[in-house]
Structure 1
Amino acid sequence: MTEPLRPVLLPLMVEDQVRAALMEDLGRAGDITTYATIGPEKQAQAVLNSREDGVIAGIELARAAFRLVDPSVVFEARVADGDRVKPGDALIRVEGPARSILSAERVALNFLMHLSGVATYTAGFAAEIAHTRARVTCTRKTLPGLRAVEKYAVRLGGGSNHRFGLDDAILIKDNHIAVAGGVAAAIDAARAYAGHLVKVEVEVDNLHQMREALGARPDAILLDNMGPDLLREAVEINRQHHGLSSADYPAAKGRVMLEASGNVTIQTIRAIAEAGVDFISTSKVTMAAPTLDIGLDVVIG
């Protein structure tokens, strides 16, 4: 099986994210603490070190933070996004005007610590289900303004991405179904509206709704808040609906994909995956990920 290429962050996306963060931090007068205590002639070197095990994400955002504050700062990355690191590993070395390094420090670390935390937390979920065919996937529950970079970090940690927004796929949820008049009616309306490249997924709360959904031929069904026993039954219903043998089912093209969601934690994801679903979506990988502890140590030049 071909290994997937690492995800890409567009330079323009990085620039906008970091510029906004720097403007928020520097405010109207800049870093007055640094300006008041350090002369403009002072030079410094600094090393950003990992203080715990993790997966790195956000190198280019950290680079942009130093560059936007002062293009003369020399930035040397010693690891790449997606690399696994241990406590004490040197990640980045910077050298240049001390004022510039200190003024950019917090924004660089904020991005690097948060995104590395997301990648590391996702990697923990992915490791729990590596023996299954299921993949952990993020949701639209992301910090405002950080969705693209958080989803990038999820992929670096071995997860996959769900929708980036309301405009790139159709996901029919319980409120849509209630207003549309039923599962099948909602799917039929979505099929009539969507372009041929737009995927249609429907959320169901029980197996009766699932059977109704299968008759309307969505691309995917989201099984909401079902325990492992119900999920196994759902997988079997899907297999029988498509007339597939147990051996053929996993790789069968054109069958409805099954996604599990609800009550997904690092403790529950293994049992959910072993039920046979294709995807497991959780907001935990973006909304509950702890930061990776990374520090910046300055050496006066």
Structure 2
Amino acid sequence: MSSHAHLLPNGYKAQIAQWLQEDTPSFDYGGYVVGESDQKAVLYCKAEGVLAGVPFFDEVFKQLDCKVEWTSQEGEYLNPDGKIAIAHVYGKARHLLLGERIALNIISRCSGIALKAHKVAQLQKERGFKGVIAATRKTTPAHTNASIHQTGFRLVEKYGVLVGGLDTHRMDLSSMVMLKDNHIWAHGSITKAVQAARSVAGFSLKIEVECQSEEEADEAIAAGADVIMLDNFTGEGLKAAAKSVKQRWAQKGVNNFLVESSGGITYETCAEYFCDDIDILSMSTITQGVGHVDFSLKIVPQKQ
């Protein structure tokens, strides 16, 4: 099991139980057909991907009294010519089929995100960019339930980002204070917004401010922001602005802030933003519009 699995909160198991309940809310008609004979199923990968979501897949079948044995490791790059077997699942036929679609949905999307993250990370390495590349909070919304704290598919998606080799950025609104244009407009000014945020966030949370110009960046730095987001700048415009801001404040002896770029950055364009004055690139395209990896689970026919 990947060491990333140790990051997971225990609550994800309740989430999986909820997904199993949702998928079979009344009678299991197909399960009636196949019965409870002991069977073996093979998990095949049939397209390029980075295997991710193993602990979620395992938990689905654990809750159904099945056992999973992997022949591939989480984080492994897969590019089969046709299809390759990467795991075997043992259990009663009905239980295998109860978990099949949920488990496949999880690893298909998680592995697709991991593949996108992996490709960006490889490009970063090739180009020698020393900063951080992070996903954003643009993830699949949560399904609310009064009795269970749920994060929707966000936990799976952010997990895939980690397995693929990139940074998760903030996990939720409580992870870091990010003051965007709406926060600034609602509170009156960048300075006032940062001061209000610091009064409740204390010393342990970073404050990030979205800035549309160098002037706004200067105000945010002066107010004590930890991260300056230069939002929706062009590649060359961003490099120039980041260099200008850092040089100006270095002359004042201030260098305790990070510069982040965000807004419309994709795999195809991210290299345009690589430079020493940018500390963080955040990309929503790591989790949005990502193709799923094609997996299938097939029960092995028993010899008569």
* TM bin (shorter chain): 0.7 to 0.9
Q: Distance in 2 between matches of 1:118 and 1:8?
A: 19
1:93 is matched with which residue? 88
Q: Structure 1 residues 202, 213: closer, same or farther in 2, change over 3 A?
A: same
Q: Are the equivalent residues in 2 in contact too, given 1:54–1:120 (CA < 8 A)?
A: yes
2:298 is matched with which residue? 297
Q: Distance in 2 between matches of 1:254 and 1:163?
A: 22
User: Does residue 141 of the first structure (1) align with residue 153 of the second (2)?
Assistant: no
Q: Structure 1 residues 219, 117: closer, same or farther in 2, change over 3 A?
A: same
2:68 is matched with which residue? 75
Give structure 1 stretches of 5+ with no counterpart.
245-251
- SS of 2:215's partner is helix
Pick one of 111, 117, 128 that aligns with 1:122: 117
Q: Distance in 2 between matches of 1:7 and 1:243?
A: 41
Q: Are the equivalent residues in 1 in contact too, given 2:130–2:276 (CA < 8 A)?
A: no
1:26 is matched with which residue? 24
1:202-281 equivalences in 2 (<5 Å): 202-243=209-250, 255-274=256-275, 276-281=277-282
Pick one of 155, 160, 180 that aligns with 2:162: 155
- SS of 1:159's partner is coil
Q: Distance in 2 between matches of 1:51 and 1:211?
A: 51
User: Does residue 48 of the first structure (1) align with residue 47 of the second (2)?
Assistant: no
Q: Which amino acid in structure 1 is aligned with residue 112 of structure 2?
A: G
Deviations 1:210-247 (A, max 9, x none): 12222223110111100112211222123213427xxx
Backbone CA RMSD of aligned residues: 2.1
Q: Are the equivalent residues in 1 in contact too, given 2:53–2:159 (CA < 8 A)?
A: no
Q: Distance in 2 between matches of 1:219 and 1:8?
A: 29
- SS of 2:274's partner is helix
Q: Distance in 2 between matches of 1:107 and 1:192?
A: 44
Percentage identity across paired residues of the two chains = 32
Q: C-alpha displacement at 1:98, in angstroms?
A: 1.6
Give structure 2 stretches of 5+ with no counterpart.
142-151
Q: Are the equivalent residues in 2 in contact too, given 1:126–1:135 (CA < 8 A)?
A: no
Q: Structure 1 residues 201, 7: closer, same or farther in 2, change over 3 A?
A: farther
Q: Structure 1 residues 7, 231: closer, same or farther in 2, change over 3 A?
A: farther
Q: Distance in 2 between matches of 1:65 and 1:95?
A: 13
Corresponding residue pairs, total: 285
Q: Structure 1 residues 101, 236: closer, same or farther in 2, change over 3 A?
A: same
User: Does residue 201 of the first structure (1) align with residue 208 of the second (2)?
Assistant: yes
Q: Structure 1 residues 189, 241: closer, same or farther in 2, change over 3 A?
A: farther
